[in-house]
Amino acid sequence: MNLPSQLARYGGCLFALMATVIWSGNFIVARGLSSEIAPVTLAFCRWTTATVVLLPFAMTALYRQRAELLASLRHLVPTAFLGVTVFNTLIYIAGHKTTALNLSLIAIFSPVFIIILAHIFLKDRITLARLCGVVLSICGVVLLTTRGDLGLLLQLQFNEGDLLMLFATLIFAVYTILVRRKPVALLPAAYLGANFILGWIMLLPWVLWEWTYAPPVMPAPHVMGAILYIGVGASLLSYLFWNYAIASIGPSKAGIVYYSLPLFCGLEAWLILGEAVTWVHGVSGLLIVCGIFIANRQ
């Protein structure tokens, strides 16, 4: 492997990791604000913020590539609908209907779906190392989310929120596969801007319907701060990082890096909320990191 190709792979892993770190905060917001703001309204505020911040930087590219964007609508509309309109909105709705444990455990399936879909549609080979890495990472995630008490798995009760979260993980996997087929002529700024604008437009009817029974109110300052974080960080930066990672290392390897998400959720809970760190965090973190390393050892 030549040096530029090797550096691109290292960069792809790094960008996938950076996107995952930022998204881990999004899960904390989804759980923490479930009683303070309606889910679709939260999604609408998030993507409004992201679009407003991105537009000054993307307007030139959007205008110059308007012909290419129109020619690529068959690709852009599905990616915008899945990645912007639906995916995170379902997570916020699920956060109103199920437990944090269930959300974390169900999120495990997203990288699995990515690997399966990449194998079917992109002919991405499923190697023994990749399977071993996935198994190790799953064990680490389960150990972390159950706090070492595996008996909790027998006590789980599933509801419609869990089904919504499972559907959201499948949607994220499909979005990840579609991004790999991004039209090569589109610049990153134009591609991201078109996705944000189209996704925001398709979210409008949904939020207007929600406002018929849950009228919006002026959010508290801490809620506005959280919206700014998920609008700029978990939307603009993380999607830019994730798309670059997919282009560099492919959806399957990027998906395995996604297993580190609950590990970062735990670290942020320790730093921000003062939650205790135990041996479980150390062992589960070691399993997750080893799994990611084995699956991406090339």
Model confidence at 125, pLDDT cuts 50, 70, 90, reads confident
In 3D space, the residue among 93, 94, 88 whose CA is nearest the CA of residue 230 turns out to be 88
Query: Is-contact 127 66, C-beta < 8 A?
Result: no
Confidence of residue 26 (pLDDT cuts 50, 70, 90): confident
pLDDT at residue number 220: 85
If you average pLDDT over every residue of the chain, what do you get? 86
Q: What is the pLDDT of residues 152-187, one digit of tens each?
A: 777 766 678 888 988 999 999 999 999 999 999 999
Residue 136 has pLDDT above 60, yes or no: yes
**C-alpha–C-alpha distance, residues 165 and 30, integer Å:** 12
SS (H, E, C) 146-172: CCCCHHHHHHCCCCHHHHHHHHHHHHH
Helix axes of 238-249 and 160-180: crossing angle, nearest 10 degrees: 60
pLDDT at 71: 96
Q: What is the mean predicted confidence (pLDDT) over 281-285?
A: 78
pLDDT over 90 at 289, yes or no: no
Which has more confidence, 114 or 77?
77
143's enclosing H/E stretch is helix 128-145
Across 269-273, average pLDDT = 67
pLDDT, position 272 = 65
pLDDT band at residue 269 under the 50/70/90 scheme: low
Task: Tell me how far apart the alpha carbons of residues 181 and 287 are, in angstroms, rounded to a whole number.
Answer: 32
End-to-end alpha-carbon separation of the chain, Å? 10
Q: Which of 289, 169, 172, 164 is nearest to 242 (CA)?
A: 172
Closest CA relative to residue 258, chosen from 93, 140, 85: 140
Question: What does the pLDDT read at residue 8?
Answer: 74
Task: Check the CA dihedral 228-233-235-237 and report its sign.
Answer: positive
Question: How far apart are alpha carbons 268 and 283 in whole angstroms?
Answer: 17
> In the chain, how many H helices and how many E strands?
15, 0
Tokens representing 179? 């991004």
| pLDDT value at 4 more than 60 | no
pLDDT at 2: 55
Over residues 203-214, mean pLDDT: 96
* Helix 73-80 with 188-211: angle, nearest 10 deg: 50
Q: What is the pLDDT of residue 297?
A: 67
Q: How far apart are CA 245 and CA 11, in angstroms?
A: 8
115-119, 121-125, 282-286: range with lowest mean pLDDT: 282-286
pLDDT tier, 5 (very low <50, low <70, confident <90, very high otherwise): low
Whole-structure pTM value: 0.85
Residue 141 has pLDDT above 70, yes or no: yes
* Mean per-residue pLDDT, 134-151: 80
- The larger pLDDT score, comparing residue 11 to residue 200, is at 200
